[in-house]
A and B are shown apart, each in its own frame.
Chain A
């Protein structure tokens, strides 16, 4: 994890309240959002993975199963309760064990910004009770001094003996601009705090991206994007299997129009498709009872359109319409000498067709008060698409596993400026979410965290949540303090319960669980952030988050991140910069024993970073180095599966040339 020293954190002086944030996020994307300050601060080192950046965003926490493929959750809402979009596109991992969340297919080098939409705005691009993470991918740049520009970087980290190489090239001429990038990472088994090497934590991957932009006129441009990601030999120490290869191909075509004077001030339309293949096996594991392959496929195609309409000087409407079709299939084959292979579908092939429309009304009541109403409806068809799949699900007692769901979401938000610099926002919302493919159709999916096999339940009811969210921020000079509070009561909360009459599929598992709706779950918590600039060359950033979650029996919900604080101080008088950073998490004692959770001890980490920037022959050179986890603390986070320790002391060095 490496954070750069030379990047400026620019405190956004413009309005960064959530009301405007939605507008910016949904339609503009090029203005800065709340989290954007933090993302920029933490992204500055190009060798950080996207996961490493996300971990610093107070709303986000990551579920870890290995050094790679961590799964993002917002405010400890589970991944099924959260939308993860790539530039507005839906993308579904092809792994039944969720080893491949969409975030692994995007490199920070391709990332323009990360948008985290919570509470009342979390459902605008897809019905959701937990919110939306949208990874806005970088666009070709017209504003370059020379037709050709780019960066080359190279880095090394000691903890995993890992290499990072990347190159980015931008070409702009007249009305055309192109951007190409490639990133290569190779990582060996990492060393945890105290010196233990974690077996099966290696990985290797290449990521390519290519974008072309054509500016038709002042108002309209077209864009084509392709991202290809190939990973292989990816170890998952917390799981009984590794990944032989994982490939993703993501492509889109879009048209964007912006003309502030017109009634429809801006609109965009995008069509997209993506295809993921994910191949799990255990060929490298010692002492396995039986060799096993688990390939998975995911294919999605869809479109979305967004538009902003100015009703008058004070009122705007935002529209979004989208539709997508996702096909999933995963299987498992086991081999026993002298017998026919044992084959079954772990995701009986299924298709989800989603059609949604959302409307937001933004009303600037007076110079200090803003009102926003959001609504969205989704109509979703879920089907098993082959006889093989239907036959298999019929075993569980479901003769018909097809379903149609109408999901409704609505929210209202008021933002008020009090004294100069003080702003408050209150948000109330109602949202629904559909059960995931695994929750509906999963067939003996092994969860190594609680050591149970899970079978799906096509008759699950949709979750619906009532949520309230309040925030206060205070901006003065170049400083900012913000406090958020959220409360969410999720009815029909989906969770797994033991199914004693079923026998386990996985050798050594404790039993079988099936998904059911429990009456409700409650999630509540706070996030706080402080950004200070006591002197022109000094930046101070500190974030804090806490989530408290209970089920209807007053038992803690599983996989809830404990109190955590990340604090950074950066001193950058000139070309040279230095940064000290602490990460601290409290002990998580609120655990769900039924899910096999145990207490996770708190920890305190100290990181130090140095940077130097210079210009040579018109090229910009930057060198970054640092030590992370200086005390070589052996620790893991509460959301990490299998209590596998995280990396220990890590020294990194990175060079970057910009031309």
Chain B
């Protein structure tokens, strides 16, 4: 019995040591850009800073795209964790130009040395060329400047970006699928972003719509139970839950209403895994 007790306490101690050492390791060795792909880098003229720009995807496709910015002092090479970043996407189609929805980094404090923003590319580079101008206000020296980089936006195999002219107000709305980004059988986060095109240069986030989500397997004709309709959580983002009962091709049907009036009932995103 004594031996057993001893063995038992030993194993508990070992387990505790293992657990605590794991936690420590996590704190020390995290690489902020692990798993991200570097899109480009360059000097932010006038801000005395170098910027590195990363994305999660290896190729950028039309739709909601997150950008991760790492800033360094252009002389010392030290990280800059306190800065104000402003984005300005632009599509140049030769005869005309237009902007796109975007989200500036929410905070002037970097999170784990990275500033995160997004651009919703409402079309691919087929029709022209995309650039994103990044204006950096470097809080360490008070200087400001900008860096413009081109982005090649491809057509995705499954569209993540749709638009419709709303029946109730005649405005043009752009909807982007954000989640599920790595779908699985089970409960998945469902997130879309909705923007309204007010002018060629103004694409504000919209919070006025109600969304009904109906997932369906087109080849089988069945859906899934216990889904949660996306509701607005801020900045045009709508969050809910989508349940996949099996792998394969799923169609996420989305019906939009505004105050009881139908805005659109023809939109869907396909997800295949």
Contacts and interface: CB of A to CB of B under 8 A. Distances in A.
B9 interface: no
A342 B183 CA distance: 13
A334 B218 CA distance: 13
A370 B2 CA distance: 48
Contacts of A444: 245
5 contacts: A332-B246, A334-B248, A342-B220, A391-B185, A391-B186
A340 B245 CA distance: 15
A341 interface: yes
Interface string B238-249: 000001111111
B184 A340 contact: no
A448 to B, nearest CB: 17
Interface string A342-386: 111100000000000000000000000000000000000000000
A567 B243 CA distance: 56
A342 B272 CA distance: 10
A502 B223 CA distance: 8
Interface stretch (A21-29, A54-62, A470-478, A503-511): A503-511
A350 to B, nearest CB: 16
B226 A343 contact: no
Given A392-B185, A394-B186, A344 B243 contact: no
A293 to B, nearest CB: 13
A420 interface: no
Contacts of A443: 245
Given A290-B219, A507-B220, A391 B248 contact: no
Given A340-B247, A342-B217, A344-B247, A395 B224 contact: yes
A505 B220 contact: yes
A342 B248 contact: yes
B260 interface: no
Interface in B207-233: 217, 219-226
Contacts of B187: 391, 394-395
Nearest to B220: A507
Given A290-B219, A334-B246, A503-B225, 4 more contacts: A336-B249, A340-B247, A340-B273, A395-B243
A341 B272 CA distance: 10
Given A344-B185, A392-B186, A392-B245, A502 B225 contact: yes
Interface in B26-42: none
A286 interface: no
B186 A505 contact: no
A287 interface: no
A339 interface: yes
Interface in B226-273: 226, 243-249, 272-273
Nearest to B246: A344
A536 interface: no
A397 B273 CA distance: 23
Interface of B: 184-187, 217, 219-226, 243-249, 272-273
B226 A340 contact: no
The size bracket of the interface on A is: 20 to 34
Contact of B248 (A336, A392, A504): A336
Contacts of B225: 395-396, 499, 501-503
A388 interface: yes
Contacts of A339: 219, 248-249, 272
Nearest to A505: B222
B219 A344 contact: no
Contacts of B184: 391
A336 B243 CA distance: 21
Nearest to A331: B246
A458 to B, nearest CB: 14
Contacts of A507: 220-221
B248 A505 contact: no
Nearest to A397: B226
B222 A504 contact: yes
A501 B217 CA distance: 16
Nearest to B247: A343
Interface string A82-98: 00000000000000000
A343 B248 contact: yes
Interface in A445-460: none
Contacts of B243: 395
A502 B266 CA distance: 22
Contacts of B249: 336, 339-340, 342
A507 B218 CA distance: 12
A306 B273 CA distance: 52
Contacts of A332: 246
Contacts of A345: 185
A341 B217 CA distance: 12
A555 B249 CA distance: 42
Which 7 residue pairs are nearest across A and B when measured between Cβ atoms?
A391-B186, A342-B248, A344-B246, A503-B223, A395-B243, A336-B219, A343-B247
Contacts of A340: 247-249, 272-273
Nearest to B243: A395
Nearest to B248: A342
A396 B224 CA distance: 9
Contacts of A499: 225
A503 B226 CA distance: 11
A555 to B, nearest CB: 27
B249 to A, nearest CB: 5
Contacts of A344: 185, 245-247
Contacts of B272: 339-340
Interface in A467-511: 499, 501-505, 507
Contacts of B246: 332, 334, 342-344, 505
B251 to A, nearest CB: 12
A339 B248 CA distance: 7
